[in-house]
Amino acid sequence: MKLANVSHKSLVFDGRAVVVCQKPSKYMRINIRPSLESSQPIIKLTCPPRATNEAILAFMQAHKEWIDNVCARMVQARGEIAEILQEHCDEVLLFGKWVPTMPLIELRAILHTYLVQRADVFANAMGVRFSKLAVRKSMSRLGSCTQDRLSFSILLVFAPQEEIDYVVIHELAHIVHNNHSAQFWGLVGVHCPRWRSLRKSIKSRWGLFSALLDRLEQERSQQAKLPTQASPQSHNADIGSQLLFEF
């Protein structure tokens, strides 16, 4: 299997650090998400390999107002999220309810089981078939559909089940309509009449969900470091990716 050629670099735009990911793609895309360690959000731009710094900065300039607005909202929300995490320091959201914290691998398994069950139910109701369902660490999309293969973000485990169901229906509808046409939304609406309010609700807590995932991964990394302190031979052990993921 041939691996995609991906490279990373850093640029500064309007006083903000930008992580640039160059990989095979047709378009430039900006993703912004909160940072658990910094008061400033993480800005990531994905672009084709041949995109120059000048073209990248011009694209950022064209979307400066949007970037400013999103960053301002995230800075304001950061304080609120920090208070929530402090209040629930030993808990995690599971399907929209606070429960005693548990390992990320266990949360992933719970989510996968739920998604398979609900995807089967809605696929039968919609008259479609899917061949594969996976749970991934995606920060830019809650779900995706490639032909009849479904992929969902681990972030969904924090959301109420009704919101998860909307995302499942959304992706199953893409098996019929590979777009966001009126026909697509009509099909979604038949099986999820409240899709507008559910989509708005889940998006409003995206920052909290991202922060929760960050905290769980930091806890996993800290646990993985413990053998390193006891045994020098484990110094090079993989303690988890520190890459910046898209929001």
How confident is the model over 107-153, as pLDDT tens digits? 999 999 999 999 999 999 999 999 999 999 988 789 999 999 999 99
* pLDDT tens per residue, range 202-215: 988 888 898 899 89
Q: Walk me through the domains of the chain, giving residue ranges and CATH numbers.
A: 7-88 (no CATH), 92-220 (3.30.2010.10)
Rounded distance between C-alpha atoms, residue 195 and residue 170, angstroms: 9
Per-residue pLDDT, 122? 98
Q: Distance (Å, rounded) from C-alpha 44 to C-alpha 239?
A: 23
DSSP letter string, 70-109:
HHHHHHHHHHHHHHHHHHTTTEEEETTEEEE---HHHHHH
pTM (two decimals): 0.70
- pLDDT tops 60 at residue 226: no
pLDDT of 5 reads: 80
- Three-class secondary structure of residue 8 per DSSP: strand
- Give the span between the Cα atoms of 79 and 230, in whole angstroms: 37
Q: Pick the residue with more confidence: 205 or 37?
A: 205
> Which has more pLDDT, 5 or 184?
184
Distance CA 32, CA 210 (A): 11
C-alpha to C-alpha distance for 123 and 169, rounded to whole angstroms: 8
Please, what is the average pLDDT of the chain?
A: 86
The rounded percent of the chain whose pLDDT value lies above 90 is 65
| Inter-residue contact 23 to 49 (CB < 8 Å) | yes
For residue 242, is pLDDT > 70? Answer: no
In the chain, the N- to C-terminal Cα span, in Å, equals 28
**Are 97 and 163 a contacting pair, CB within 8 Å?**
no
DSSP class of residue 113 equals H
Q: How large is the angle between the packed helices 64-87 and 206-230, nearest 10 degrees?
A: 60
- As a whole number of angstroms, the distance between CA 22 and CA 27 comes to 11
Contact 167, 202 (CB under 8 A): yes
Tens digit of pLDDT for each residue in 63-120? 999 999 999 888 887 888 888 999 999 999 999 999 999 999 999 999 999 999 999 9
Tokens of 73: 């909202």
CA distance 140 to 31: 7
Answer for the pair 142, 149: CB distance below 8 angstroms, yes or no: no
User: What distance in Å separates the CA atoms of residue 229 and residue 223, rounded to the nearest whole number?
Assistant: 11
pLDDT at 243: 28
Q: Which two three-digit tokens encode residue 146?
A: 């490639």
